[in-house]
Amino acid sequence: MAAIARPLPRSGGVSWTSAIPYAVLLLFTLPILILYGWLIYGSFFPSMQGLRPVGGFTLENWRFLWAPETVEALRFKPPIIPLTINTFIFALSTALVVLLISSMAGYALSRIRFPGRRTFLGGVLLLHSFPSVTLLIATFIILRQLRLYDQLVGVILVKTAFELPFGVWIMKGFFDNVSWDLEMAALVDGASRLRTWWQVVMPLVKPGLLALGLLAFVSGWNEFLLPFVFMPSGTQQTLSVVLRAILNEGRFVDYGLLTAVGLYYVAPILLVFFFAQDRLMKVYAGGVKG
């Protein structure tokens, strides 16, 4: 499939021109490769001046994992391990709630005729690129009324709502792809809609659920603005908020430590990415495509 834009096979060996696209691609991509490479490399040296490490290889920067009390920059910060657990709980809860709610709505939008369906679909598309992050104060007032300000569950709900348009649209796409036949059979046999959905259709979209779940998890793991504004003082702060606080501490700027903490924070994402990149890419493409 991907062969379409390729030049016709040539009779003689490899021409130098066929190397051009590789070279151009590499050149374009180099900044990203260098940035990430540098992050990894820099975390094992006391400090970096440009690409040159200052001092020899060391694991000192990682001592925030086993001897956090010796790290001056973290002295008044919540300990890293509980922060990691908080971030994980936040990401996982967001992913689960997003999955549940979007697969329900996606199923209804794909299968059931009901008044308001078109409006909702249009609305979902519209909300997809909605400037919700500029409505933070209004969202704060709502959370305050619900007594969910500075509560993990409040931030999870807001995050879920923000992820929902994407999730619903994706899940609708996956359900659209499932053939009617099995479902029909179940319904004709008298199974309820809910039961059919849960027991017959959901297993068929497992790959989709997995992909959307991963995406929602990644998005929750990375989230900065929502916990920053809505959950600032709780004991359940997340890594992003604390990392930003350390970053702001311009005076220390212990580059080595910060690269290590940064890499620690991004590492789970990199892992997810290496094991599931194909799946993620399909959903990203599909998300806007339908």
Partner 1 sequence: MARTGTLQLEREEQAPSWWRTNATAMLFMGPAAILVIVFFFVPVLLTLGMSFTDIATATGLSGWQWIGTANYEQIFRGSFTGLIVRNTVIYVLLVLTFNVLVGLGVALLTVHVRDQVGGFFRAVWLLPRISPSVVYALMWTWAAAPPPFGIINEFVAPFGVAPRFWMNTDPWMFILFLNGFVGASLGMLIFTSAIESIPEDLFRAARVDGANAWQIVRRITVPLIRWPILFVLVYQSMSLLASYEYILLTTNGGPGLYITEVWSLWAFHTALQSYAGNLEIGLGAAMAAILVLVGVAVSAFLLRAFRFNDLVSEPRVEIT
Partner 2 sequence: MDKYTLSGRVAREGLRLSRRRFLVSTGALVAATACSTAPTGQQQGGGQAAPAGTVKLAAWTIGPDAPSYYRRDNLVAAAATLNKELEKDGTKVELEATFESGGSWDDYKQKFVLAAEAKQAPDIVVAGHEDMAPWAAAGYIVELDPLIKKYDSKFKDVIPTLWDAMKLKDKTYAIPQDTEARPLYYRKDLLAKLGWSKDKIDGLPDAVKKGDFAWSDVVSTAKEAIAKGIVDPASGWYHRPSRGHDFYSWYYANGGEMQDKASGKLVLVPSALEKFYQVHYAAVKVDKITPEQFMGLPGKQWNETVTAGKVLFYNAGTWTWKDWQSTYKVPEQALWDNVGFTLVPAAQRGGKPFTLSHPLVYMVTASSKSQELALRLIANATTPELNSQHSVTSAHLAILTTQEKDPTYQKDKFLLATSYMLGYTTFIPNHPKYGAYDEVLFRFLTAVEQGQVTPKQAADSAVSELRTQLRDELIVR
Q: Give the footprint of partner 2 on residues 133-152 (CB under 8 A).
A: 140, 143-144, 147, 149-152
- 245 is an interface residue for partner 2 by CB under 8 A: yes
Query: Residue 96's binding partner, choosing from partner 2, partner 1, none, with beta-carbon cut-off 5 to 8 A by kind?
Result: partner 2
**Which residues ranging from 216 to 235 are in contact with partner 2 (CB under 8 A)?**
228-229, 232-235
Question: Could you tell me which stretch among 1-9, 27-35, 244-252, 256-264 binds partner 2 (CB under 8 A)?
Answer: 244-252
Q: CA 264 to CA 256: how far, in whole Å?
A: 12
Looking at the Cβ atoms of 39 and 210, the one nearer to partner 1 is 39
For the chain, the maximum distance between any two Cα atoms, rounded to a whole number of angstroms, is 74
Tally of CB atoms within 10 A around 250: 6
* Residue corresponding to tokens 């509560």: 151
> Using an 8 Å Cβ cutoff, are 102 and 171 in contact?
yes
Looking at the Cβ atoms of 13 and 250, the one nearer to partner 2 is 250
- 250 is an interface residue for partner 2 by CB under 8 A: yes
**Which residues ranging from 97 to 116 are in contact with partner 1 (CB under 8 A)?**
100-102, 104-105, 107-110, 112-115
> Using an 8 Å Cβ cutoff, are 230 and 140 in contact?
yes
- 177 is an interface residue for partner 1 by CB under 8 A: yes
Looking at the Cβ atoms of 69 and 273, the one nearer to partner 1 is 273
Residues that bind partner 2 (CB under 8 A): 72-73, 75-77, 89, 93, 96-97, 100, 140, 143-144, 147, 149-153, 156, 185-186, 189-195, 198-199, 228-229, 232-236, 245-246, 248-253
